[in-house]
Chain A
């Protein structure tokens, strides 16, 4: 059989059917500074213009041979649409990701504006998706993502209110997380309606660096189950930080694949979950692509595959200021060691 297009490869991969080779992709931002510079703009300018978002994603994918494009790059689009603002740091030198300046002071009286999908930069992201979907043409899959309800909550109210709340005012937190869950479903469904090829739910702030496994089961899992029931496949659950203690519970949420970062012991997770579960991960994107010598990259990627991932994913957004030769070494290693079947996905 002839070679698959990146889009076919990823679609087939998520159905756990044999592919020609391991796709080289992610469910988080993959934009690089090399693409931004080629466009003659700065990183701070990329977030508010549909053309810039779409173009920077495509130039990056073409430059390095990624199978996917993923937008947006920052985690403030939804909070901004809810009225919390966004600091884009347009005057700062260097790369800073946007942050949320005006979080809500309490969990009380939360009203999600009905028309939030048309507010802030939401229409910009929609337009960028439309551009990508119309121009991707099989050359790459278009990935979308939304923060999970707990992480979204932490972007909208002060994290310490939320964290103390889980002990002090459990009922209030539960009902707040309910609202966040509905919000996440609405955004994810919206992007699926636009036609994204896969949807990643990033419940990043819920690892056991912050919450106990017991609390995770009590407060996080039920909402994730609800989300994965509501949205369509392919759908991925990503959690970064410490996930060894919750990986089995993550697998009960109904996602088609689990994504973890470098803190997860994937070899152990693979043993716990068996060979039928899609595991994505788990290299440290900053350490591997921005910091280490390019000759060390191959070993990092090979270890991910040897440990038992089905596709090599960075543990988080790629830090844009990568070393070009490191990204090239990463893609090359995925292609080289990804020819063989992975635990859950065979080869044609």
Chain B
């Protein structure tokens, strides 16, 4: 079997494993990537993330629901745990510097959507500072200043906690106008995000996946372009 053919085979196994919620399959393929000396970053982006992209489509078509999303995410993590230590810094390029502060705002103890977005940031090579859930507003501001992160991602499942986001955005933008703000959660609409001065939004766990996948898709495209040009 040619090297390229074997690469394709492993990428497909990773992608299928994520889509089929098959942790064992993903682990096996990820280990093979490492043992056989294939590029770990390629495996993450074009295997695991490509699988998650299909999962997003299935969610969109209402074939998959949140339980399935969570199982797929577990499968993805199983592969990521194996591959991540083998990703070379030069593969990540500028993205290695990327840092994000993430959490659900005070008054909200739901963190499924947040955890899925966190996963996609990790896939993309960001350093993630996860503040957890039920996070007091000023903690987001402090953590952004402490880490000098490029992105602050906040989630709220309840309308009632969403209003806190506005305050955080004001506090952060006042201190550092270049920070990108991502909002997520059931009550968050494009309109609210605009109104609050945020830079991106996602309205549900599924939608968060879609948004995050769009981001990853862009990165994958860049990665593919780089491969072609190199």
Binding site for B on A (CB under 8 A): 87, 89, 92, 94-97, 99-101, 103, 159-160, 163-164, 166-168, 208-212, 215, 241, 245, 286, 316, 319
Contacts of A167 in B (CB 8 A): 21, 67-68, 71
In the assembled complex, B70 has its CB within 8 A of some CB on chain A = yes
| Top-4 shortest CB links A-B | A96-B107, A286-B159, A210-B66, A163-B67
For the complex, is B224 an interface residue (Cβ under 8 Å from A)? no
How far, in Å, is A131 (CB) from chain B's closest CB?
26
Contact A159/B65 with A99-B134, A164-B71, A319-B159 known, Cβ cut-off 8 Å: no
- The answer to whether B65 and A96 have CB atoms under 8 Å apart is no
Contact A100:B109 (CB < 8 A) given known A94-B163, A209-B204: yes
* A211 touching B66, Cβ below 8 Å: yes
Given contacts A95-B160, A212-B62, 12 further A-B contacts (CB under 8 A): A89-B106, A96-B107, A103-B109, A159-B110, A160-B115, A163-B66, A164-B70, A167-B67, A208-B62, A209-B204, A211-B67, A319-B160
Which chain A residues lie closer than 8 Å to B74 at the CB level? Answer: 164
Knowing A96-B106, A208-B62 are in contact, say whether A166-B67 is a contact too (CB < 8 A).
yes
Could you tell me the distance in whole angstroms from the C-beta of A34 to the nearest C-beta in chain B? 17
- B-side residues, CB < 8 A to A, are 21, 62, 65-68, 70-71, 74, 106-110, 112, 115, 134, 158-161, 163-164, 186-187, 204, 206
The docked-state distance in angstroms from the alpha carbon of A167 to that of B65 is: 11
A159 touches B160 (CB 8 A): no
Q: Which of A95, A101, A215 contacts B65 (CB 8 A)?
A: A215
Q: Which residues of B contact A316 (CB under 8 A)?
A: 159
Question: Chain B contacts of A286 at CB under 8 A?
Answer: 159, 187
Q: What chain A residues lie within 8 Å of B71 (beta carbons)? A: 164, 167-168
CB distance from B227 to the nearest CB of A (A): 35
Find out whether the CB atom of B70 lies under 8 angstroms from the CB atom of A208: no
CB-nearest residue of chain A to B70? A164
CB within 8 A of B134: which of A87, A160, A163? A87
| Contacts A94-B163, A99-B134, A319-B160 given; does A160 touch B70 at CB 8 Å | yes
Instruction: Return A47 CB to nearest CB of chain B, in Å.
Output: 13
- When distances are taken between beta carbons in the complex, the residues of chain B under 8 Å from A103 are 109
Residue contact A101 to B109, C-beta cutoff 8 Å? yes
**Contact at B107–A89, with CB atoms within 8 Å?**
yes
Residue of chain B at shortest CB distance from A321: B163
Q: Which residue of A lies closest to B162 (CB)?
A: A286
Given A164-B74, A319-B159, A99-B67 contact (CB < 8 Å): no
Residue among A99, A168, A209, A215 making CB contact with B107, cutoff 8 Å: A99
Complex: A89 Cα to B106 Cα, angstroms: 9
- In whole angstroms, what is the CA distance A317 to B106 when docked? 19
Q: How long is the Cα–Cα vector from A96 to B107 in the complex, in angstroms? A: 6
For the complex, what is the distance from the CA of A96 to the CA of B106, rounded to whole Å? Answer: 8
The answer to whether B204 touches A96, judged by C-beta atoms less than 8 angstroms apart, is no
Docked-complex contact B70 and A94, CB < 8 angstroms: no
Partner pick for A94 among B110, B164, B186, CB 8 A cutoff:
B164
Measured between beta carbons, the chain B residues less than 8 angstroms from A160 are 70, 112, 115
User: Which of the listed residues B109, B160, B163 has the most CB atoms from chain A within 10 Å of its own CB?
Assistant: B160
Residues of chain B within 8 A of A211, CB atoms compared? 65-67
Chain A min CB distance to B180 (Å) = 25
A87→B134 CA distance, assembly (Å):
10
Chain A residues with CB below 8 A from B186, complex form: 209, 241
Contacts of A101 in B (CB 8 A): 109, 134
Q: How far is the CB of A61 from chain B (nearest CB, A)?
A: 21
Question: Cβ of A209 and Cβ of B134 under 8 Å apart?
Answer: no
Q: Which residues of A contact B68 (CB under 8 A)?
A: 167
Across the interface, which residues of A come within 8 angstroms of B160, CB to CB?
95-97, 319
Q: A215, B112: Cβ atoms under 8 Å?
A: no
Assembled-state Cα–Cα distance A286/B187 (Å) = 9
17 CB contacts below 8 A, A to B, read A94-B163, A96-B160, A96-B161, A97-B160, A101-B109, A101-B134, A163-B66, A164-B71, A166-B67, A167-B21, A167-B68, A208-B65, A209-B206, A215-B67, A245-B62, A316-B159, A319-B159
Q: How far is the CA of A159 from the CA of B160 in the complex (A)?
A: 19
Asked whether B159 lies within 8 Å of A212 as measured between CB atoms, the reply is no
Bound: A19/B50 CA distance, A = 58
| Most chain B Cβ neighbours within 10 Å, of A103, A160, A168, A211 | A160
A164 to B115 CA separation, bound complex (whole angstroms): 14
Contacting pair A99 B109 (CB below 8 A): yes
The distance from the CB of B120 to the nearest CB of chain A, in whole angstroms, is: 16
Q: B107's closest neighbor in chain A, by CB? A: A96
Contact between B67 and A164 (Cβ–Cβ < 8 Å)? yes
Q: Which A residue's beta carbon lies closest to that of B160?
A: A97
Distance of A241 Cα from B112 Cα, bound (Å): 16
Question: A167-B68, A212-B65, A215-B65 in contact; A97/B107 too (CB < 8 A)?
Answer: yes
With a cutoff of 8 Å between Cβ atoms, the chain B residues found around residue A319 in the complex are: 159-160
